[in-house]
């Protein structure tokens, strides 16, 4: 069985934490792409049905608020991983 010195084990843990933080930050970019697509479709919907503008904006606002929280989750996890 391979025996690692404590320094090597610490280096492995630090590297794994940093890789995890990077993956978490990349995961937080997903909602941006989704929000952009939703906004594009909302523009088309408002052109097609201008009287529903208010309903479209409110629905999109609520959707963006909820999907935006994923980004904060990922940032919190990434910062925990980097600084712990």
Q: Which residues bind other proteins (CB under 8 A)?
A: 28-29, 31-33, 35-44, 46, 53-58, 60-62, 64-66, 68-69, 71-72, 75-76, 79, 83
Q: Are 56 and 31 in contact (CB under 8 A)?
A: no
In this structure, the number of other CB atoms found within 10 A of the CB of residue 82 comes to: 15
In the complex, least distance from residue 48 CB atom to other proteins, rounded to whole angstroms? 11
In the complex, least distance from residue 83 CB atom to other proteins, rounded to whole angstroms? 6
**CA nearest to 22, candidates 70, 79, 68:** 79
Cβ proximity to other proteins, 8 vs 57, nearer residue: 57
In the complex, least distance from residue 2 CB atom to other proteins, rounded to whole angstroms? 35
3-state secondary structure of 2: coil
């Amino acid at each position: 069985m391979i025996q690692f010195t404590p320094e090597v084990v610490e280096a492995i843990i630090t590297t794994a934490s940093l890789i995890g933080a990077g993956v978490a930050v990349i995961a937080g970019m997903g909602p941006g792409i989704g929000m952009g697509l939703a906004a594009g479709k909302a523009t088309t919907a408002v052109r097609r049905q201008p009287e529903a503008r208010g309903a479209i904006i409110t629905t999109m606002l609520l959707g963006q608020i909820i999907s935006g929280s994923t980004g904060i989750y990922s940032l919190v996890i990434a910062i925990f991983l980097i600084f712990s």
